Chain A
Amino acid sequence: MGLELIPISRPAPGSGGLTGTWRTLKPLVDLAKCIDCGICWLYCPEAVIDWEKGKKISIDYAYCKGCGICAHECPVKAIEMAPEET
Chain B
Amino acid sequence: MRQLASLKTALTGNYAVAYAVKMAKPHVIAAYPITPQTTIVEKLSEFVAKGELRASFVNVESEFSALATVYGASMAGARAFTATSSHGLFYMYEMLWWAAGSRAPIVMAVVTRTVGPPWNIHDEHNDILAIRDSGWAVAMASSVQEAFDLTVQAFRLAEKAYIPVAVGLDGFVLSHTVETLELPPQELVDEFLPPRSPNAPMPLRPGLPLTFGNIPSDDRIHAEHLKRIYWAHQEAKKAIKEIDAEYGKLLGRSYGGLVERRWLEDAKYAVVCMGAWCGDAEAAVESLRREGVPVGLMRLRFIRPFPDEEVAELEAAEKVVVFDRDITPAGGVLGREVASVLGRDKVVDVVAGIAGVDFKASDFKAAFRKALEAEKGVVLI
Known contacts A1-B162, A1-B201; A6 and B101 CB within 8 A of each other: yes
Whether the Cβ atoms of A5 and B210 lie closer than 8 Å is: no
**What 1/0 mask marks residues of chain B from 83 to 104 whose CB sits below 8 Å from any chain A CB?**
0000000000000000001110
Specify which chain B residues have a CB less than 8 angstroms from the CB of A10 in the assembled complex: 209-211
Whether the Cβ atoms of B225 and A11 lie closer than 8 Å is: no
Closest 6 CB pairs of A and B: A9-B211, A2-B201, A8-B212, A10-B210, A8-B210, A5-B103
Partner of A7, one of B201, B209, B216: B216
Q: Report the contact-size class of chain A (Cβ under 8 Å from the partner).
A: 10 to 19
Instruction: Please give the residue numbers on chain A whose beta carbons come within 8 Å of chain B beta carbons, in ascending order.
Output: 1-3, 5-11
Q: Which of A2, A3, A6, A9 has the most CB of B within 10 A?
A: A6
Partner of A9, one of B101, B102, B210: B210
CB of A56, distance to nearest CB on chain B (Å): 30
Whether the Cβ atoms of A3 and B216 lie closer than 8 Å is: no
Specify which chain B residues have a CB less than 8 angstroms from the CB of A3 in the assembled complex: 201, 203
CA of A5 to CA of B214 in the docked complex: distance in angstroms?
Answer: 15
CA of A2 to CA of B162 in the docked complex: distance in angstroms?
Answer: 11
Whether the Cβ atoms of A6 and B209 lie closer than 8 Å is: no
Partner of B225, one of A1, A2, A6, A9: A6
Specify which chain B residues have a CB less than 8 angstroms from the CB of A7 in the assembled complex: 212, 216, 221-222, 225
CB of B95, distance to nearest CB on chain A (Å): 16
Known: A1-B201, A5-B103; 6 extra A-B contacts, CB below 8 A, are A1-B162, A6-B103, A7-B212, A7-B225, A8-B203, A9-B211
* Chain A residue nearest to B199 in the complex (CB): A2
Pairs A–B under 8 Å by Cβ, sample size 16? A1-B162, A1-B201, A3-B201, A3-B203, A5-B103, A5-B162, A6-B212, A7-B212, A7-B221, A7-B225, A8-B203, A8-B210, A8-B211, A8-B212, A9-B212, A10-B211
Specify which chain A residues have a CB less than 8 angstroms from the CB of B162 in the assembled complex: 1, 5
CB of B168, distance to nearest CB on chain A (Å): 26
